[in-house]
Structure 1
Amino acid sequence: MNGRPLLNRRLDGLGTTIFAEMSALAAATGAINLGQGFPDTDGPEEVREAAVRALRDGRGNQYPPGPGVPELRTAVAEHQARRYGLSFDPDTEVLVTAGATEAIAATLLALLEPGDEVIAFEPYYDSYAACIAMAGATRVPLTLRAPDFRPDLDALRDAVTPRTRLLLLNSPHNPTGMVLNPGELAAIAELAVERDLLVVTDEVYEHLVFEGEHTPLISLPGMRERTVAISSAGKTFSFTGWKVGWVTGAAPLVAAVRTAKQYLTFVSSGPFQYAVAEALRLPDGFFTGFREDLRAKRDLLAGGLADAGLTVFRPQGTYFITTDIAALGEKDGLAFCRSLPERCGVVAVPNAVFYDDPEAGRTQVRFAFCKREEILREAAARLSGLGRG
Structure 2
Amino acid sequence: MINVRDFVNALIEQGTHYFTGVPCSYLTPLINEVIARDETHYVLASNEGEALSLASGLWLANKTAVVLCQNSGLGNLINPLTSLNEPFSIPVLLLVTWRGQPGTKDEPQHRLMGEITPELLTLAGVEWAVLPDDETGALASLQHACNYIQAEQRPYALVLTGNQFCAAQSPMPEPQTAYPRREEALETLLAHVNPDGVIIATTGKTGRELFTLSDRPEHFYCVGSMGYASAIAHGIALGCASLPVYVIDGDGAALMHLGNFAGIGASKPDNLIHIILDNGSYDSTGAQPTASSGVDFVAMAYAAGYAHAQHCNDSDSFANALRQTDIAGPRLLHVPIGIGSMAQLGRPTLSPYNVARRLQSHLKTIDPASPFEKTMANTVQLPEGGRISHSIPTTENGLMNIHDTTQPNALNAVLTGMDIYASKAISLKAKADPSIANLSFGEPVFGPPEHLLKAIEQEDLSLSAFMDASKRYEDPRGSLALRQAIAAWYRDRYGLHFDPEREIMVTHGGVEAITLALLVTTSAQDKVAISDPSYMLYARTLKTLERTPLRITRPAGNHEYAEMLAQDGALEGVKAMIVNSPENPTGYVASPQDWAVIGARAERSGCWIIHDEVYDAMHFERPHQPARAIASLANNSIIINSFSKKFGLPGLRIGWMIAPPQVIEQAAKAHDYLYLGVNIQYERIAQRLLNDDGKFAWLEEMSSNIAQRCHTALNTLTEERGYRWPRKPLGAMFLFPEVSGVYQRMPEKYRQPGQHIGDAVANYLLEERGVAVVPGSVYGPQGNNHIRLVLCMPDDVFNLAMKRMV
The normalised TM-score by structure 1 is 0.90
Which residue of 55, 58, 81 corresponds with 2:465? 58
What is the Cα-based RMSD across aligned positions, in Å?
2.4
Equivalent position of 2:787 in the other structure: 365
The number of equivalent residue pairs is: 380
Q: Say if 2:449 is the partner of 1:44.
A: yes
Equivalence map 1:9-158=2 (5 Å): 9-11=413-415, 13-30=417-434, 31-40=436-445, 42-52=447-457, 53-56=459-462, 58-59=465-466, 62=470, 64-146=474-556, 150-151=560-561, 152-155=563-566, 157-158=568-569
| Secondary structure, counterpart of 1:139 in structure 2 | strand
Q: Is the 8 A contact 1:199 1:228 kept in 2?
A: yes
| Secondary structure, counterpart of 2:632 in structure 1 | coil
> Could you tell me the percent identity over the aligned residues?
26
| Secondary structure, counterpart of 2:651 in structure 1 | helix
Q: Is the 8 A contact 1:50 1:274 kept in 2?
A: no
Equivalent position of 1:348 in the other structure: 773
CA shift in 2, pair 1:352/1:149, >3 Å: farther
- Give, in whole Å, the separation in 1 of the partners of 2:492 and 2:685: 19
- Give, in whole Å, the separation in 2 of the partners of 1:168 and 1:250: 17
CA shift in 2, pair 1:144/1:70, >3 Å: same
Letter in 2 for 1:65: D
Deviation per CA, 1:154-186: give whole Å up to 9, x if none.
Answer: 45644322x311121111111111111001101
Equivalent position of 1:289 in the other structure: 701
Deviation per CA, 1:228-284: give whole Å up to 9, x if none.
Answer: 101111111101111111001211111122222223332334222222222223333
Q: Say if 2:736 is the partner of 1:322.
A: yes
- Give, in whole Å, the separation in 2 of the partners of 1:341 and 1:123: 23
Equivalent position of 1:334 in the other structure: 759
- Give, in whole Å, the separation in 1 of the partners of 2:557 and 2:625: 23
Equivalent position of 1:311 in the other structure: 724
Q: Is the 8 A contact 1:110 1:257 kept in 2?
A: yes
Q: Say if 2:669 is the partner of 1:220.
A: no
- Give, in whole Å, the separation in 2 of the partners of 1:203 and 1:120: 15
- Give, in whole Å, the separation in 1 of the partners of 2:555 and 2:675: 36
| Secondary structure, counterpart of 2:500 in structure 1 | coil
CA shift in 2, pair 1:370/1:308, >3 Å: farther
Q: Is the 8 A contact 1:319 1:369 kept in 2?
A: yes
Letter in 2 for 1:33: N
Deviation per CA, 1:165-219: give whole Å up to 9, x if none.
Answer: 1121111111111111001101111111122221111000111111120111211
- Give, in whole Å, the separation in 2 of the partners of 1:219 and 1:10: 37
Q: Is the 8 A contact 2:722 2:742 kept in 1?
A: yes
Larger mean Cα displacement after TM superposition, 150-159 or 169-178: 150-159
How far residue 65 of structure 1 moved from its aligned partner, in angstroms, is 3.2
Task: List alignment gaps of at least 5 residues for structure 1.
Answer: 385-389
Deviation per CA, 1:127-156: give whole Å up to 9, x if none.
Answer: 211222233221111212346682324456
- Give, in whole Å, the separation in 2 of the partners of 1:270 and 1:305: 45
How far residue 51 of structure 1 moved from its aligned partner, in angstroms, is 4.3
How far residue 310 of structure 1 moved from its aligned partner, in angstroms, is 1.5
Equivalent position of 2:710 in the other structure: 298
- Give, in whole Å, the separation in 1 of the partners of 2:565 and 2:534: 20
- Give, in whole Å, the separation in 2 of the partners of 1:148 and 1:220: 19
- Bigger relative contact order, structure 1 or 2 (CA pairs below 8 A, ≥6 apart): 1
Task: List alignment gaps of at least 5 residues for structure 2.
Answer: 1-304, 309-326, 328-409, 745-755
Larger mean Cα displacement after TM superposition, 367-376 or 4-13: 4-13
Q: Is the 8 A contact 1:337 1:348 kept in 2?
A: yes
Letter in 1 for 2:769: C
Q: Is the 8 A contact 2:535 2:584 kept in 1?
A: yes
| Secondary structure, counterpart of 1:311 in structure 2 | coil
How far residue 88 of structure 1 moved from its aligned partner, in angstroms, is 1.3
The normalised TM-score by structure 2 is 0.45
- Give, in whole Å, the separation in 2 of the partners of 1:187 and 1:264: 35
How far residue 42 of structure 1 moved from its aligned partner, in angstroms, is 3.6
